[in-house]
Amino acid sequence: MKSSELSNYIEGLCSRHKRLRHRPHDIHFVNLNEDKKQTYLSERMHYPCVVFSLGDYTFDGMGTDVKKVQTCRLQVLTHVRDTADYCDIEEKLSLCDSILSDIFAKILDDRHKGVAPFLRAFDIDGLKVQRIENNSNALYGYHTEFTLSEQLCVVERLNNFETK
């Protein structure tokens, strides 16, 4: 799996979600691994928004059965005008929660339908979602991390070395 495949897939979900409608002129999605888009957060971002990034990865397995386990981060954020308006904050947090749940439901549905091969490695068992409250920037929402496991063929990797 290429990281761009997953990012493009999630961006596509954001463009089709009824409450986001991400478009090139109406930015509701950003991939933090792409430098050119990082400036959108402060200048051109529309809320609610989805923020995606790839983190660390690990290798798991023994012998020739090796997996690369990639950590992915997903945030759904919204902006409030008044950080003392708790009713508005709770309403917008509920919206963010709903969007995040919708995204994972669609990923699982697409995985079941075989829409994208890399989704076979997607698993939400034990997925922890944390609330975000950034009062100084008036941003609220939810953050989660999930993993994708990619089966690696050790024999193919050995072909990249010269033998003596």
- What's the CATH code of the domain at 76? 3.30.70
The answer to whether residue 62 is domain-embedded is: yes
Residue 124: give the domain boundaries: 3-158
Of 26-30, 36-40, 47-51, 95-99, the range with the lowest mean pLDDT is 36-40
pTM for the complete prediction?
A: 0.83
Q: Is the dihedral of CA 97, 118, 5, 159 positive or negative?
A: positive
Cα angle value 58/9/70 (rounded, 5°): 5
Residue 70: what are its φ and ψ, rounded to 5°? -95, 130
The answer to whether residue 164 is domain-embedded is: no
Q: How confident is the model at residue 148 (pLDDT cuts 50, 70, 90)?
A: confident
With CA atoms as reference, report the closest residue to 144 among 91, 108, 101.
101
Q: Are 93 and 140 in contact (CB under 8 A)?
A: yes
Where are the alpha helices (H) located in 44-129, listed in sequence order? 86-113
The answer to whether residue 13 is domain-embedded is: yes
d(CA 12, CA 3): 14
State whether residue 77 is helix, strand or coil. strand
- pLDDT: is 154 or 103 the higher one? 103
Give the strand pairing for 122-123 and 139-153.
antiparallel
Q: Looking at the 3D structure of the chain, how many domains does it have?
A: 1
Cα separations in angstroms, 113 against 72, 151, 159: 22, 20, 34
Q: Are 30 and 40 in contact (CB under 8 A)?
A: yes
Q: Torsion angle of alpha carbons 127, 131, 136, 138, nearest 10°?
A: 100
Query: What does the pLDDT read at residue 164?
Result: 66
Q: How confident is the model at residue 154 (pLDDT cuts 50, 70, 90)?
A: low
Number of residues in the chain: 164
Query: What does the pLDDT read at residue 43?
Result: 66
The answer to whether residue 163 is domain-embedded is: no
